[in-house]
Structure 1
Amino acid sequence: MSKGHVGDDIDLGRGDLSVRISRRGAAVTAATFRGKPFLVSTGGQDGTFASFPMVPFGNRVEGNAMTFGGRNYAFQRNYHDPLYLHGDGWISLWELEESSSEHAQLRFWRDADRISPYAYLTRQEIRLSGNRLALTLSVENRGEAVLPFGLGQHPFFTRTPETRLTIAADRFWSERPDHLPDVPGPVPAKFDFTSGALLPWQWMNNAFEGWNGRAAIAWPELGIQATLEADDALNRFMLYMRLDRTDFFCLEPMSHLPNGHHLPDFGGLKPLEPGEALLGKVTIDLSALPVQPEGR
């Protein structure tokens, strides 16, 4: 990729790592390491996003309504899904505040309206350092009342037949037919990636809790691997896999559970006073996959 930016696109590069960003959604639209794509451009409204920020919270709100602080609030659908989905940032045009060959910072703000009662200012910084991609997302409550906020990143990782995921969690949430979390319980054996495992070939759209913020992904066919780390604010994650698309999977670090507005303790959503902010950072470190000795 060439470095610089034209129109809505910003190209970043450092050594073996290249990333393209769009002002639309503050999204990563392409990411390669040593010429190999480790993210797939398939998400977003037009199918070009390889990773996007979720703000002022991620996933859905049951019934497009919530009650907080003794007041009732309503949402309207913001996408083809019947429920308000993934916040506003991913479907909006952001302002580019700063950029260089190795980083970009964008911001977006909105007032409350009929679509959502949230008024806020959010910033996303994408920075390359060595072979590391860092995504730092913040949100500040610009409304007049306390509301529960959350953050998340929604990367679409490349999936090959031999892709191995290593990640550990203490609790697993089953999924309802409306794609909201159902009941918590122990992690099923087929979804236990504590010691590293191949990804299952089945539908999956589940939340996990009790995560230490670390994960590893290996792509033997590509000869590369990634180490993902999320800070303490992003202590939950979603795994999303489809049956009709076997070329990607989503590992989504989040500060809260889907539908947290209707769960005990708001599912990890953080009530923010006017002027108060929340920040979360995710890093993805890329490296060559060590060559295994013959016969192993």
Structure 2
Amino acid sequence: MTGEAESGVPPFDGTPRTIGVIKSAAKKLQQTLSLTAQASDFKGWADENAARLNAQTFEKLDKQRWTDFVNRPVSYVTREPDLPRLAWHWLFEEHPHAIEGVWLTAPDAYPSIPNPIVPTLHAFLSPKEKELNLARLNDLEGHYAAYRPSFVNTADVMVMAMQCGIDGDISRFAITMKFVSEDGEDSTEHVEGFALPYQGSVLFQGRLIETAAPFIFILSRFPVDNKTGKTSWSEGTLLVGADGTMSSAYPITIRRAAKEVTPQTYDVESFKKAIPAHKTILKLLKRGVVGWRDED
């Protein structure tokens, strides 16, 4: 943003670490400036500088609202969406002694999740949950075979190679799928994205790399294998919105694999011969595909 570049303020990324730094700096500033005085000082500064930072000024910012923001967990969402970013600039520009030391030494709130997407989505989707369910992500880490009806011919079964946890980030996932296109060509597509635990489920927010189309699915039920301590399988619903077609929904299930899976698409009879657990998987896939019919 222009304001950040002009002021020399470190970029505001909205991560839990950054929000935590703001809260810690405000508490440190209490040694010389009460929360009441901070709220007044911050409100006046925001009125003068919000336009420069392309932000909305506050309808109201009193001691209680500022106190709530400072003292509640990092997942607390205010009714003023620009408050954290403006507070970041206010502290660095007006009270650098309170924030610079905290900024340089504060630990990462989620060291195993080195991306801003998952913490931000967590704060948006689960405002009442103080922390991410890191245990769920740790249990999911590993290789899986992911089964779904083929989008080329829904009578066929697509076995996709899926990996949870990539390059030290337990929230990242990747999928590879292979199929014969409608033109008869051997095709490969790849998905990349992030896994977000919420309530009893996990949202997998991804995209097809080749087409940049959304590839989103939700899994529920995560039994853990007693021997490995890892998730053994799960099931849910997949949503795909490719360019040039109407969005469709498919049943999807994953099964943990001891090693990386070879992606492939099978007709039903070949699938029965190749996959020992075919009965359970085919029963789940028979739940049906939600698609669109052409009108006559």
Give TM-score scaled by structure 1 length: 0.30
Give TM-score scaled by structure 2 length: 0.30
Q: Which has the higher contact order (CA 8 A, sep 6+)?
A: 1
Report which of the two structures shows the higher radius of gyration computed on alpha carbons.
Answer: 2
Instruction: Specify which structure has the higher proportion of strand.
Output: 1
